[in-house]
Amino acid sequence: MQFFVSCGILKEAWRKGEKPSRFFLEGFSFWRENMDDFLIRLRRSPIIGALRASLHSMKEEDFSLCAVFFLLESNILEVQEFLPHHVTSPFFFLHLDLFGGIASDESGLCFIRNNFPSIRGIISTRARTLALAKKLGFFSILRLFCIDSESLKTGLRIANDLSPDAVELLPGLIFPKIKELIPEGALPPIICGGLIRNQSEVQEILHCGAVAISTSHRELWKMNLQNELR
């Protein structure tokens, strides 16, 4: 999906006689080279580590438990000190709405991409932020808080307009109960996060069709080591 959306943007710019920005062209190449790797990582390790507390509380061995981590409620000083030690693996996604020290504009996103190569994607509740992140080659994850049927309906509409690479549904615990309310193919791959506390809940959510779950419970991260998680 993202490949064809990006191609469409590129072709439209050329049709109008506009020269696509250098940042866009670099971003398109960046995305194309890494998308397959990201999907393979999720298939092999569908438990995503959600980091809320200080990154300094993490031990080196903790980072071997997940192929993807979500950086939540962080800031540029902490990330600047920590991330250079983890350049290639795992993949990090930055929740830009809760990140301190960098604006969610083109300059801020370019700074992230050029200085923190291990940050492969952006998480946000804002369509504008994710549209810009996609343009610059980041994976995009739309965070959708499903508090009632109306918020689900609104989220489906936004996801359809934006075409993010994935949607993080919160609270993820309710996904098995509301899956029947989501038309087949209405959303991109679904990641579930929030209120997921034990292995049986993880198994149920994955069996219902979620591609991954995000959790801050480190005991659940160890499920990635199981041979038959799904």
Indicate whether 189 belongs to any domain. yes
pLDDT at 13: 40
pLDDT at site 34: 65
At residue 117, the pLDDT reads 86
- Residue 11, pLDDT score: 35
Q: Which residues contact 223 (CB under 8 A, 6 or more apart)?
A: 47, 199, 202, 229
Residues facing 75 on adjacent strands = 100
Beta-bridge partner residues of 47: 213
Q: Which CATH number goes with the domain that contains 201?
A: 3.20.20.70
> The pTM is what?
0.83
Q: Which residues of the chain have pLDDT under 50?
A: 1-32
Number of domains within the chain: 1
Task: Name the residue type at position 172.
Answer: G
| 3 state SS of 93 | strand
Question: Considering the domain boundaries, does residue 183 fall inside one?
Answer: yes
Domain assignment of residue 114, given as a range: 2-225
The answer as to whether 135 is a domain residue is yes
Whether residue 230 is contained in a domain is answered as no
Per-residue CA distances from 35 to 6, 32, 165, 184 (Å): 13, 6, 9, 23
Q: What six digits make up the tokens of 68?
A: 């993807």
Structure tokens at 206: 């994955």
